[in-house]
Structure 1
Amino acid sequence: MTENVSSVSVGTDVLSEEPVVAHPAWGRLKAAVEEIRPAQSKDGSVDFEAEGAPAPEALHAALRRVVAAVEELSPLLPHDAAYHAALVADLDRWAEDGFGVPDFLDSLLAFQPAQQRADGLQHLVVFPMYTQNGNPDRNLEAVVLRMVWPEWLAELERTRYDNPLFCGITFEDFTSGYDTHSAVLFPETIAVREAPERFGWGGIFCDREAARFRRVVAAACEVTSLELPEDARELLADQDRCQQTFVLWDMVHDRTHSHGDLPFDPFMIKQRQPFWMYGLEELRCDLTAFHEGVKLEADGYPQGRDVQYAMLLERLFRFPVTGERRRNYDGLGGQLLFAYLHQHDALRWTDNRLAIDWDLARRTTVRLREEIEHLYRAGIDRPKVVHWFKGYELVSRHLAPHPGSTWAKGPEALDLTLPPRKLVDEVLPDEFPLSMFYEALAKKLKSVIASTEGITARTPARAAA
C-alpha cells in the first residue's frame, strides 16, 4: 500500500466549479468518442482494411475533437492538469502510430485520484479500456465522475479501515461502455504497453450499486412477500443513504482482500483456481464487512446497521440471479449464504413467503465467516490441491454439486499427476447449479435485472408492473 493520504486540501475553488457535463465541450467530447469506438477492434486498435472501416482522415478528425475538448475542459479541473497533459500526449501518439494497439501507460500513471479524496471533487477520465461486467473490448471511453468522501468516512479510513487506494465515486455522465452493468473504474482494465508494478487506486460507483440494489431488492421483496423491518424499508427508499452504505461496504470489503490469514496473492489475479475459491474469497470479504457493520452500529454509526441489511439483501437476492452461470463466483457466494441461513433456520420459505429472523441471521452469518476463516488458516499448511478440495467440501456441505461433477466424486476421480492448473479444466462451468428456489426467482426478476443496465441515481424510477 502507498502512504495513507485519506484526503488532501484541494481548495474551495476546485470543489465549487461548474459541472463538467454542463459545459458544451463535454457534449463534443462524448460525440467524438462515440464516433471512434465502433471502429476499434477488441484490443483497441483500428483495422482500416476491414469492411466498413472509416476513412483514416475521419478518425483523425474525431480524435482531434477529443483532444480539443479535453484541453477546453481541463482548466475546470486543475487537480487533473498533469493527467490531462499526459492524456493528450497519449492520444496524439496513438493517432501518429496509425491507431494501433493503444498504450496509455503514461496518462494512467499521471492519474492519481486516491491522492485527492475530497467529497464532490470532479474528474474527467478518458482511456481505452474494457468495462468490467460491461464491454469486454478496449474501446475509448470517457466518463465524468465525482468523489464520494464524506468526513465520517474519511475519519473511519484514517482510524479503523486504512485503505489509501480506495475511491468511492458517482457518475456524472459516460460513453457507451458504461451504459452497461459495470460499476467500477479499475486501472487494470486500461490498455497499456506493460502493467505498472502496482496500481495506485481503484474506484467503485456507489450510485449505480445503490440504484440497482434498490430496484432489484424492492422487486424481490414483492415477489417473495418478504416483510422488511422499518429501518430496512427506509434504507431502500433513500438513494443517498444507500450510496453512503455502499461506499462504506466497498471500502471495508476492498481492504479485507489484504487482511487476515491469507494465501499469497489474496486477489488471486495471477493464479488459476477453481471458481469456488474466488467465491469464498469474495464472500469472506462481504462477511467481514457485515461483521464490521455490527461493531460500527454498536459504536453509534447508523451506516453500520445499513451495511448489514445491504449485504444480506444484495447477496441473497441480486447476486445469485445476475449474470450468466459460467463460473459465476459472486452468484455462488450468494447461493451459499442463502443455503447456510436456511439450514440454520435464520431464513424460512414457507407457504410461498420468505421470512428472515434478523437477529438469528446476524449470529448465523458470524458462524459462516468463522468457517471460511478457519478454512483459510488451515490452508496455509496445506498443498494447493488439498486446499481446493477443502474449499469444495465447505461449499458442498450446503450446496448440491452438479450430478455430473468429477470434483464431487473426490480425489480418486481426478488425475492427480497433472499440474493443479490442469485439474481446473475438470471443473464444470456451473459446478453448483441454482436451487429450485433460485431458478424460479431468476425468471421472476429477469426483466428487473435487465432494466438496471446503465442505471444511475438519475435514472427515473421503474414504472410499476
Structure 2
Amino acid sequence: MTSRAPMDPAYLAEARTLTESLIPRVDRFRTRQADDGTVTAPTADDRALLTLISDEACAWYRRNGLGHQADALDADVAGWLEAGLDTPPHFARSRDALRPPEDGSMVFFLAPLQSTNSAPPVGKRLDCFYALRKEPAALPDLAVTHPHPKNNCQSLILVAGSAGFAQGNCLVFFPENVAAHDKITDQPYAMFFYNKMRAIHETYALPGAAAVLTPDSVPRASTGLDPEVCFEARAIWGYLHDRMHYQGLWPFDEHISLKMNWFVGLLEEIKVDAKTALACADGGIPYAEEQIAMILLERVFRYPQADDATRNFDSGTGVFLYSWLRERGALTGSPDDGGLLRLDRDATVAALRDYVTMVEKMEAEVTSDDEYRAAAKELVRRYLPAGEPKQRYRFTEDQRVLLRARQSLDRLPPLTFSLAQW
C-alpha cells in the first residue's frame, strides 16, 4: 500500500461515518472554546453536545477493540463536566491510553489538544483524527545503516479529522499537545501526517523562498515531487531528525524537561535538522537532495511566515538559521530595495557543520541544566534580539526579508485535507 494507492474500503467506510456524524459535532463544540480549552459561560447545550461526542467516540473505540481508550475518554469527560466546562480540561487519561498503531493499521484519537500550526484559532480545543500508519519503504534498510536507539515515531496518512487537523498546516501530534494539568516525563509516541507535506511545501515554502532568493539559487530538488516520493522523503527526514535527538551528551529522552525550554529547544531543533542535512550531504541516504532542499525551504522560508512568528518556536528556528547562514556567507547579497539574495549550497553545508560543532562544544562545556539554559539563551539572543512584552524575539531589519511573501500567502484560504484526496 502506498500513500496514494486505493485504501481499504473498510477504512474509508469508517472515515465517512466519522465525517458524517462525529467530526461535525467536534467542530461545533470547538467553536465554543477559548484558547485554553475552556468554554465561557457553558450552557446545558454545551454539556449535552460534549456528552454526545464522548458517547459516540467511546462507542467507536469499543467497536474497534479499544476499550481502554473508551474508558479513559469517558473518565476524562466526566471529570471535566464535574469540574465545569469553564475550567481548563484535563485529558491525561486519554493521552496516556493512546498506543501507536502497527504499520498498516489505523489510529483514532479525540481530546482537547493543540493542533500546532493549524488554521486559526489554534489552542487547546477539542479535536480528533483518523489516520493510517504507513512507514517509508526505505526504513528497514535505513534502520540498519542509521539505527535509531529508541524510535517512537509514526508516519501517518491523515484520512479524516476535525478542523485542527483537516485544515491548515498541522503535521504533528505529540502527547504534550493534549490538554492536561501535568507535564509528560517521556514521549511514548510522536505522530506525523506526512501526506499533508506536498501541498504545504509547494503552497508556502516555495513561494516564500522565491520572494527572497535569486531564481537560480532556490533549492529545487523538492519541487514538483511525485506524491509518493514526497511522502517517503519527508518520512525519512522525520526518522533521521528524531534519531539525532537521541545522540550526543544531552539526549532528548534523558533531558526532556530541559529540551522543552524555549531557548534550548530552538537550538536543539536546528541542530538535529542540520545533522540530518549533513547526513544526506555525506551520502548513503535515500532522497538526499530532496531532503536537503525540503529542510532549508521549510525551516528558513516557510516557518517564519507564521502570523505569530515572534512567539512561534518553529519560526524562531528559521529566523535564527537565516542569520547564521548570512553570517557565514551562505546567503549573500543585500535585501535592500527588493534585492534578492543568493543561496550557496556548498557554503550552506559548511555553515551547518559549523553550527553543529558550535552547539556540541557548548553542550560539552555546560555541567548543569541551569548552565545549559543560560548558555542557550545567550547564544539565541545573538541572533534573535528580545522583543516586546509577550513576544519571544523581534525581527531585525535584515531578517524582515523573510516576510516578503507573507501578505500574499496570508490571503490564501487554509489548505483542506479530506477524503476527497482518496
So what's the TM-score if we normalise by structure 2?
0.79
CA distance in 1, matches of 2:304, 2:405: 13
Q: Write out aligned runs for 1:123-202 (5 A).
A: 123-134=107-118, 135-157=121-143, 160-178=147-165, 179-192=167-180, 194-195=182-183, 197-202=185-190
Q: 1:392 to 1:149 in 2, by over 3 A?
A: same
Check conservation: 2:113, 2:125, Cα contact below 8 A. yes
Check conservation: 2:222, 2:294, Cα contact below 8 A. no
CA distance in 2, matches of 1:176, 1:302: 34
Q: Are 1:315 and 2:308 matched, yes or no?
A: no
Which residue of structure 2 aligns with residue 347 of structure 1?
331
Q: Are 1:433 and 2:391 matched, yes or no?
A: no
Which residue of structure 2 aligns with residue 392 of structure 1?
378
Q: Deviations over 1:203-243 (max 9, x none)?
A: 12223344222222321343245335899346444343223
CA RMSD of aligned residues (A): 3.9
Q: Which amino acid aligns with 1:448?
A: L
Which residue of structure 2 aligns with residue 37 of structure 1?
30
Q: Deviations over 1:246-301 (max 9, x none)?
A: 2222222233333212288776636896x544322221111111122234xx22x3
Check conservation: 1:20, 1:144, Cα contact below 8 A. no
User: Where do 5+ consecutive residues of structure 1 fail to align?
Assistant: 1-13, 406-425, 461-465
Which residue of structure 1 aligns with residue 3 of structure 2?
none
- Equivalent of residue 210 in structure 2, options 192, 217, 222: 222
1:142 Cα shift? 1.8
- Equivalent of residue 23 in structure 1, options 7, 16, 26: 16
CA distance in 1, matches of 2:369, 2:27: 49
CA distance in 1, matches of 2:147, 2:252: 24
CA distance in 1, matches of 2:372, 2:124: 37
Q: 1:162 to 1:213 in 2, by over 3 A?
A: farther
CA distance in 2, matches of 1:102, 1:327: 23
Which residue of structure 1 aligns with residue 69 of structure 2?
83
Q: Are 1:448 and 2:409 matched, yes or no?
A: yes
1:112 Cα shift? 0.5
1:201 Cα shift? 0.8
Which residue of structure 2 aligns with residue 207 of structure 1?
195
So what's the TM-score if we normalise by structure 1?
0.72
Check conservation: 1:83, 1:107, Cα contact below 8 A. yes
Check conservation: 1:131, 1:177, Cα contact below 8 A. yes
CA distance in 1, matches of 2:376, 2:182: 36
Which residue of structure 2 aligns with residue 290 of structure 1?
277
Check conservation: 1:211, 1:456, Cα contact below 8 A. no
CA distance in 2, matches of 1:166, 1:290: 19
Q: Secondary structure at the match of 2:191?
A: strand
Q: Which amino acid aligns with 1:27?
A: E
How many residue pairs were aligned? Answer: 407
Q: Which amino acid aligns with 1:141?
A: D
Check conservation: 1:145, 1:173, Cα contact below 8 A. yes
Q: Are 1:117 and 2:102 matched, yes or no?
A: yes
1:374 Cα shift? 1.3
CA distance in 2, matches of 1:20, 1:267: 43
Q: 1:378 to 1:223 in 2, by over 3 A?
A: same
User: Where do 5+ consecutive residues of structure 2 fail to align?
Assistant: 1-6
1:447 Cα shift? 2.9
1:195 Cα shift? 4.7
Q: 1:93 to 1:258 in 2, by over 3 A?
A: same
CA distance in 2, matches of 1:435, 1:68: 53
Q: Are 1:375 and 2:368 matched, yes or no?
A: no
Q: Secondary structure at the match of 1:353?
A: coil
1:73 Cα shift? 4.2
- Equivalent of residue 305 in structure 1, options 286, 289, 293: 289
Q: Which amino acid aligns with 1:243?
A: F
Which residue of structure 2 aligns with residue 409 of structure 1?
none
Q: Which amino acid aligns with 2:102?
A: R
Check conservation: 1:122, 1:147, Cα contact below 8 A. yes
Q: Write out aligned runs for 1:272-287 (5 A).
A: 275-287=262-274
CA distance in 1, matches of 2:359, 2:228: 33
Q: 1:430 to 1:165 in 2, by over 3 A?
A: closer
Q: 1:369 to 1:75 in 2, by over 3 A?
A: same
Check conservation: 1:125, 1:143, Cα contact below 8 A. yes
1:38 Cα shift? 3.5
CA distance in 2, matches of 1:196, 1:225: 41
Check conservation: 2:159, 2:418, Cα contact below 8 A. no
1:390 Cα shift? 7.2
Check conservation: 1:147, 1:169, Cα contact below 8 A. yes
Q: Are 1:365 and 2:362 matched, yes or no?
A: no
Check conservation: 1:44, 1:101, Cα contact below 8 A. yes
CA distance in 1, matches of 2:192, 2:82: 33
CA distance in 1, matches of 2:170, 2:112: 15
Check conservation: 2:30, 2:125, Cα contact below 8 A. yes
Q: Which amino acid aligns with 2:278?
A: H
CA distance in 2, matches of 1:457, 1:31: 13
CA distance in 1, matches of 2:8, 2:273: 32
1:432 Cα shift? 5.5
CA distance in 2, matches of 1:390, 1:45: 34
Which residue of structure 1 aligns with residue 4 of structure 2?
none
